Amino acid sequence: MKKILKWIGIILGIVLILAAGGAAFISIRGIPKYEAKNIEMKVDVTPERVANGQRIASMLCIQCHAADDGALTGKLLKDVPKEFGAIYSKNITSHKEKGIGNWTDGQLYYLLRTGLRPNGQYLPPYMPKFPLVADEDLKDIIAWLRSDSPALAPSDQEAPESEPSFLTKFLCAVAFKPLPFPDKPIMRPDTNDAVALGKYIVDGQIACFACHSKDFKTMNVLEPTKSEGYCGGGNPLLNMEGAVVPSANITFDETGIAGYTEQQFIDAVKYCKKRDGTILRYPMVPHTGLTDTEVKGIYAYLKTIPHIKNKVQ
pLDDT value of position 16: 52
Kindly report, residue by residue over 159-204, the tens digit of the pLDDT.
999 999 999 999 898 888 999 999 999 999 999 999 999 999 999 9
pLDDT tens per residue, range 15-55:
555 445 555 655 565 799 999 998 999 999 999 999 999 99
pLDDT band at 240 (very low <50, low <70, confident <90, very high): confident
Q: Residues 263, 269, 248, CA angle at the centre, nearest 5°?
A: 110
| Ordered structural domains, the chain, with CATH | 47-174 (1.10.760), 194-302 (no CATH)
Is pLDDT of 208 > 80?
yes
Q: Are 142 and 109 in contact (CB under 8 A)?
A: yes
CB contact set of 74 (below 8 Å; sequence gap of 6+): 65, 67, 88, 89, 90, 91, 92, 158, 159
Instruction: Pinpoint the alpha helices (H) of the chain.
Output: 2-29, 47-57, 61-65, 105-114, 135-145, 166-174, 194-200, 208-212, 262-271, 292-302
User: Per-residue DSSP letters for 193-226?
Assistant: -HHHHHHHIIIIIS-HHHHHSS-GGG--SSSGGG
Residue 82 CA to residue 73 CA, distance in Å, equals 22
